[in-house]
Chains A and B, each alone.
Chain A
């Protein structure tokens, strides 16, 4: 509960509603639930002449209609909040949630992930998505809840870097499937070799937000351990941008330690992304919340639930980077006794305490809790997918927004296969007219973001960076142009998304600033490369002029002086190298 409230601080209305809905709430006390609650109809538009309106409903009659809303019911009416707004997006979201879960599980268990994704087309608007991993598996007792209950998971209740955050994703996918096709989600999971696998078919009781096991049996399964999820859903398949295909390509770039197999529908060829490193990402450390990011309500909750007997102890115990000295400073500023019982604090005291936090210098949270991909591996990931002329990657040291540590990474790949075929003749011509914008790839905690680029802090960071000074052309307020792929990755214990569908990162100044710093670093390196290449091209052009004329001059000199042309040509060639190489021709 503690972290639910702590987490809320970074969220917008939609998630706030969900948080509230997660607990059974007294309808009378939750005006936020209004849109979904069939409360009194809004007052009718004023009648043309003033008449005494009859009362349409009484508080009592309204109360009879007020009742709990289950999360599942909420979801069925608000599927867009979780990324199921269109059939095409539903397919992507389903794959995404399952793959994110698989990768998280593998990494947490210290297993090099090997994930296989298959999309089977059952009809034009109906697919079966099958995701199988070599993860630790899910114990029998938990499996139905993981897949059949919204807001159930391991990741929400702790501040630890992972792809999934709320425990909504995969069960939402299962529910979407169930809603659109009536089919249960099929789970096969095995936790250790030598034991049979469990095979479930689960439907969700949307009214109760609880799994209903339709089928449960043990069965022989070849893999040592792992989980296989099958979801049938109404969806449409398309390739290209914002598709499941692109998603897996992006996952491969940001997860060089993962092997991913993919069988697309419509008889398209299977794809396999082999891992390029056997090095698992360092295990991220779990941290306690940092005072700088805590909200008043959360602070009250934390203090109330603390097992410490003194306020000083509670602050030191429940928050990170709070020393007894810092705690005393806070208490002094708030005019609260450090020895006070944390549970017995008056609301005004808590408020004063909350106001005191920004006035005290507190160390930033430990950086060990964020695990970036790293410059080398990010580069390897890029090289695996994109054959370019130039790569640059930069990992920034961790920074903090509202008490949450995060680290930004940027990487770029330029030229090579990214260059359009039309430019082939003159690969060294400057930015040509009609060039396409670069391709921007956004990642948070190694998971790609494919929708709503315009709303994302990453997009803003890229657009607000002046790429012209790095040798690219850039229309005002837009992405730069050129044969380039640009990656930005934000790793954090809590990534502030603008909505539950996790499509765009919120604009925190600290985050945008770090993004820009990382971009500047790779931009500078790109500029150095472009400058070098322009210089080389210039020199090569000069040399080619000389080399073109050397045979002519040599044979003319032979006819004049009888000096062998081959000899003269060789000497001139040597000179050409000198005049166009490192040593500049003084006369030229």
Chain B
């Protein structure tokens, strides 16, 4: 974590080279070259109750070159590896979309391309990350910026000082690489972090200067928060010893966003250690909030069939086994209703900043 940028680059490059050398050795021995890739699926993740995060299991899948079904992916994996090595050597970072275009070309004199769609290259990048145990950031790859931050925090981003109190209405756009060789925390007056699901809600709170009044860092992830936002939250919670509150819609999708922030996702289980925030607290919206805050009935929406199915699934997730959570989800199912954060505006445009959030925090009305 504390490696310098160049040392990190060296280490990652060595891993990529070693992967290539293994293949070359197998080919020299006239063996079918093979890559062992950890399986990234529900079957190969487990919930560690001790660490309260989702962890990747030990299962690996062999990817052979001389196998009609695997040859293409094998080729693609090495193409990504080689492109990343070049990227690291040039000292530049690029988006995964860029990388897709860098690697895309027609194969031989066929009508096929090395990659037909970005959908084809993205999972290969994730395969490579788990195979050589290097993070996307370490491969000099980033996803497009999504999410913003304002609040009682000063930090340095690639040498520039960013004052979270002076970010205007748009906030500081959270980059996808937020490792300590890029982002350094300087001065922090905040007492808590509030992660909201939606950009619109974040704007309301920023406009109301909620963060100033309540000494907070206000972050949003534009729906499911991207790696950068999750990693940054994790660093802030650990390094600045702040509590993290999550504010999402009252629907299964909202619960799921909270669970990803808290214990990691299935697809990126190998990154849970770095990104999951087991300390995260679910502030709202709770299925009980409508009665509690006396919200009108006409602001609710019906749970659709898919929502119900999703909720049923979540009841079975080990990380939702806690009694409070079972009660929460079952209550939502019983009501058959869901609620958006914006519904709070029915009580007044700043009801959320002035009443809802302060009361919830004050009364410690959250789930963990």
Residues of A within 8 A of B (CB): 542, 545-546, 548-549, 551-553, 555-557, 559-561, 563, 568, 571-572, 574-576, 578-579, 585, 587-588
Contact = CB atoms under 8 A, between A and B. Distances in A.
B66 A563 contact: no
Interface centre among B24, B74, B112 (most CB of A within 10 A): B24
B107 A549 contact: yes
A545 B28 CA distance: 21
Contact of A585 (B67, B79, B108): B67
B85 interface: yes
B24 A559 contact: no
Given A551-B108, A560-B78, 19 more contacts: A546-B65, A548-B107, A549-B75, A552-B78, A553-B23, A555-B82, A556-B75, A556-B79, A557-B78, A560-B16, A561-B17, A568-B27, A575-B66, A576-B66, A578-B30, A579-B32, A579-B66, A585-B66, A588-B68
A585 B24 contact: no
Nearest to A576: B66
B23 A557 contact: yes
Contacts of A559: 82, 85-86
A572 B64 contact: no
A552 B28 CA distance: 17
A574 B79 CA distance: 22
A553 B81 CA distance: 11
B79 A546 contact: no
The 6 A-B residue pairs whose C-beta atoms are closest, nearest first, are A560-B20, A556-B78, A556-B82, A549-B75, A559-B82, A561-B20
Interface residues of B, number: 33
B123 to A, nearest CB: 18
A546 B32 CA distance: 12
Nearest to A586: B32
A576 B67 CA distance: 10
A65 to B, nearest CB: 85
B112 A546 contact: no
Interface of B: 16-17, 19-21, 23-24, 27-28, 30, 32, 34, 62, 64-68, 71-72, 74-75, 78-79, 81-82, 85-86, 107-108, 110, 112, 114
Main SS class of interface, A: helix
Nearest to B65: A553
B32 A587 contact: yes
A561 B23 CA distance: 10
Nearest to B32: A587
A194 B33 CA distance: 84
Contacts of A578: 30
Given A548-B112, A561-B21, A561-B24, A574 B75 contact: no
A280 B34 CA distance: 64
A557 B78 CA distance: 7
A579 B30 CA distance: 11
A560 B21 CA distance: 8
Given A549-B71, A552-B107, A557 B64 contact: no
A549 B76 CA distance: 9
A557 B20 CA distance: 6
B82 A560 contact: yes
Contacts of A574: 30
A548 B71 CA distance: 10
Contacts of A557: 20, 23-24, 27, 78, 82
Nearest to B20: A560
15 contacts: A545-B72, A546-B71, A549-B72, A549-B74, A555-B82, A556-B82, A559-B82, A560-B17, A560-B81, A561-B20, A571-B27, A572-B65, A575-B32, A579-B66, A587-B34
B111 to A, nearest CB: 11
B32 A568 contact: no
A557 B27 CA distance: 11
A575 B75 CA distance: 15
A546 B69 CA distance: 11
A575 B33 CA distance: 10
Nearest to B109: A548
A575 B68 CA distance: 14
Nearest to A560: B20
Contacts of A546: 65-66, 71
B122 to A, nearest CB: 18
